[in-house]
Amino acid sequence: MPDLLTHALLAYTLAVVLSYRYEWLTPTFVTVCMMGAFIPDLTKIRILWPSWRVEQWLGIPFDWTALHTVGGTFVSVLIGVVVVPAAYRKRVFGLLAVGAGSHLVLDSLLAFPAGRMKFVLWPLTTYRPVFEGLFVSSDRWPLVVAAVLAALAWYLRYRHSPPAWDE
Protein backbone atom coordinates (compact mmCIF):
# COMPACT_ATOMS: atom_id res chain seq x y z
CA MET A 1 0.00 0.00 0.00
CA PRO A 2 2.33 2.74 -1.14
CA ASP A 3 -0.37 5.38 -0.77
CA LEU A 4 -0.78 4.75 2.98
CA LEU A 5 2.99 4.96 3.50
CA THR A 6 3.02 8.19 1.48
CA HIS A 7 0.37 9.68 3.77
CA ALA A 8 2.32 8.67 6.88
CA LEU A 9 5.58 10.10 5.54
CA LEU A 10 3.93 13.38 4.56
CA ALA A 11 2.37 13.73 8.02
CA TYR A 12 5.74 12.95 9.60
CA THR A 13 7.39 15.67 7.53
CA LEU A 14 4.72 18.23 8.42
CA ALA A 15 4.94 17.40 12.13
CA VAL A 16 8.72 17.64 12.17
CA VAL A 17 8.58 21.00 10.39
CA LEU A 18 6.00 22.20 12.94
CA SER A 19 8.25 20.99 15.76
CA TYR A 20 10.68 23.77 14.91
CA ARG A 21 7.97 26.26 15.91
CA TYR A 22 6.38 24.39 18.82
CA GLU A 23 8.70 23.03 21.52
CA TRP A 24 6.04 20.71 22.93
CA LEU A 25 5.86 18.83 19.61
CA THR A 26 8.06 15.92 20.67
CA PRO A 27 8.43 12.59 18.84
CA THR A 28 5.37 11.26 20.70
CA PHE A 29 3.23 14.00 19.21
CA VAL A 30 4.78 13.47 15.78
CA THR A 31 3.40 9.95 15.99
CA VAL A 32 -0.05 11.37 16.78
CA CYS A 33 0.12 13.43 13.60
CA MET A 34 1.05 10.32 11.63
CA MET A 35 -1.90 8.48 13.17
CA GLY A 36 -4.13 11.31 11.95
CA ALA A 37 -2.98 10.59 8.41
CA PHE A 38 -4.58 7.15 8.67
CA ILE A 39 -8.02 8.42 9.70
CA PRO A 40 -9.55 8.95 6.23
CA ASP A 41 -8.49 5.45 5.21
CA LEU A 42 -10.63 3.97 7.97
CA THR A 43 -13.06 3.53 5.08
CA LYS A 44 -11.12 0.39 4.23
CA ILE A 45 -12.93 -1.28 7.13
CA ARG A 46 -15.61 -1.94 4.52
CA ILE A 47 -13.49 -4.90 3.43
CA LEU A 48 -14.37 -6.63 6.72
CA TRP A 49 -17.82 -5.12 7.25
CA PRO A 50 -19.49 -3.94 4.05
CA SER A 51 -21.71 -0.87 4.29
CA TRP A 52 -24.84 -2.85 3.45
CA ARG A 53 -24.22 -5.20 6.38
CA VAL A 54 -23.76 -2.34 8.87
CA GLU A 55 -26.85 -0.66 7.41
CA GLN A 56 -28.79 -3.87 7.93
CA TRP A 57 -27.50 -4.19 11.50
CA LEU A 58 -28.23 -0.54 12.45
CA GLY A 59 -31.48 -0.28 10.53
CA ILE A 60 -30.52 3.16 9.12
CA PRO A 61 -28.74 4.25 5.93
CA PHE A 62 -24.97 3.83 6.29
CA ASP A 63 -21.90 4.16 4.10
CA TRP A 64 -18.24 3.92 5.11
CA THR A 65 -17.31 6.36 2.33
CA ALA A 66 -18.40 9.27 4.53
CA LEU A 67 -15.29 8.72 6.66
CA HIS A 68 -13.16 9.82 3.70
CA THR A 69 -14.72 13.29 3.61
CA VAL A 70 -14.07 16.49 5.56
CA GLY A 71 -17.13 15.89 7.75
CA GLY A 72 -16.43 12.23 8.46
CA THR A 73 -12.79 12.95 9.17
CA PHE A 74 -13.74 15.75 11.57
CA VAL A 75 -16.03 13.41 13.53
CA SER A 76 -13.30 10.76 13.62
CA VAL A 77 -10.77 13.31 14.92
CA LEU A 78 -13.22 14.31 17.65
CA ILE A 79 -13.57 10.67 18.66
CA GLY A 80 -9.79 10.38 18.80
CA VAL A 81 -9.57 13.46 21.00
CA VAL A 82 -11.89 12.17 23.70
CA VAL A 83 -9.74 9.11 24.36
CA VAL A 84 -6.74 11.16 25.55
CA PRO A 85 -6.33 12.99 28.87
CA ALA A 86 -7.90 16.45 28.96
CA ALA A 87 -4.52 18.17 29.26
CA TYR A 88 -3.51 16.96 25.78
CA ARG A 89 -6.79 17.32 23.89
CA LYS A 90 -6.04 20.59 22.10
CA ARG A 91 -2.67 19.35 20.92
CA VAL A 92 -4.00 15.97 19.85
CA PHE A 93 -6.92 17.60 18.04
CA GLY A 94 -4.57 19.87 16.10
CA LEU A 95 -2.13 17.12 15.20
CA LEU A 96 -4.80 14.60 14.20
CA ALA A 97 -6.39 17.33 12.07
CA VAL A 98 -3.06 18.17 10.41
CA GLY A 99 -2.42 14.50 9.61
CA ALA A 100 -5.94 13.84 8.35
CA GLY A 101 -6.02 17.13 6.45
CA SER A 102 -2.77 16.31 4.68
CA HIS A 103 -4.29 12.97 3.69
CA LEU A 104 -7.39 14.63 2.22
CA VAL A 105 -5.35 17.26 0.38
CA LEU A 106 -3.07 14.63 -1.12
CA ASP A 107 -6.05 12.49 -2.15
CA SER A 108 -7.72 15.50 -3.75
CA LEU A 109 -4.75 15.65 -6.16
CA LEU A 110 -5.51 12.16 -7.53
CA ALA A 111 -6.52 11.84 -11.17
CA PHE A 112 -9.80 10.10 -11.95
CA PRO A 113 -11.19 9.07 -15.34
CA ALA A 114 -14.18 11.40 -14.96
CA GLY A 115 -11.83 14.38 -14.68
CA ARG A 116 -13.34 15.55 -11.41
CA MET A 117 -11.83 15.85 -7.96
CA LYS A 118 -12.58 13.16 -5.42
CA PHE A 119 -15.72 13.68 -3.33
CA VAL A 120 -14.03 14.89 -0.14
CA LEU A 121 -15.62 18.27 0.61
CA TRP A 122 -18.86 16.99 2.17
CA PRO A 123 -20.64 18.46 4.20
CA LEU A 124 -19.22 21.80 3.08
CA THR A 125 -20.35 21.15 -0.48
CA THR A 126 -21.26 18.26 -2.74
CA TYR A 127 -19.60 19.98 -5.68
CA ARG A 128 -16.73 18.09 -7.29
CA PRO A 129 -14.48 20.57 -9.11
CA VAL A 130 -13.15 19.72 -12.54
CA PHE A 131 -9.56 18.70 -11.98
CA GLU A 132 -7.41 16.44 -14.13
CA GLY A 133 -5.27 15.40 -11.16
CA LEU A 134 -1.53 15.19 -10.77
CA PHE A 135 -1.10 11.44 -10.36
CA VAL A 136 -2.99 8.16 -10.10
CA SER A 137 -2.98 6.01 -6.98
CA SER A 138 -0.70 3.42 -8.59
CA ASP A 139 2.09 5.96 -9.30
CA ARG A 140 5.24 5.42 -7.28
CA TRP A 141 6.76 8.90 -7.57
CA PRO A 142 4.63 10.47 -4.80
CA LEU A 143 6.03 7.85 -2.41
CA VAL A 144 9.58 8.63 -3.53
CA VAL A 145 9.02 12.37 -3.03
CA ALA A 146 7.44 11.81 0.41
CA ALA A 147 10.29 9.48 1.44
CA VAL A 148 12.94 12.00 0.39
CA LEU A 149 11.15 14.81 2.26
CA ALA A 150 10.76 12.66 5.38
CA ALA A 151 14.41 11.60 5.28
CA LEU A 152 15.47 15.24 4.91
CA ALA A 153 13.22 16.28 7.80
CA TRP A 154 14.58 13.43 9.95
CA TYR A 155 18.18 14.36 9.16
CA LEU A 156 17.67 18.05 9.88
CA ARG A 157 15.72 17.37 13.08
CA TYR A 158 18.30 15.03 14.57
CA ARG A 159 21.24 17.07 13.29
CA HIS A 160 19.87 20.29 14.83
CA SER A 161 17.59 18.87 17.51
CA PRO A 162 16.20 21.12 20.23
CA PRO A 163 16.54 20.06 23.89
CA ALA A 164 12.99 18.64 23.95
CA TRP A 165 14.04 16.02 21.36
CA ASP A 166 17.02 14.77 23.32
CA GLU A 167 14.86 12.56 25.55
- What pLDDT sits at residue 1? 46
Q: What mean pLDDT value characterizes the chain? A: 89
**What is the four-CA torsion angle of 125, 131, 133, 137, rounded to 10 degrees?**
40
Which residue, among 74, 75, 87, 91, has the nearest Cα to 31 in the 3D structure?
A: 91
Residue 9 has pLDDT above 90, yes or no: yes
- What pLDDT sits at residue 162? 56
Residue 159 has pLDDT above 80, yes or no: no
pTM: 0.88
- What pLDDT sits at residue 164? 54
Which residue, among 8, 1, 77, has the nearest Cα to 37 in the 3D structure?
A: 8
Residue 77 has pLDDT above 90, yes or no: yes
Over residues 41-69, the mean pLDDT reads 91
Domain that holds residue 38: 2-166
Number of domains in the chain: 1
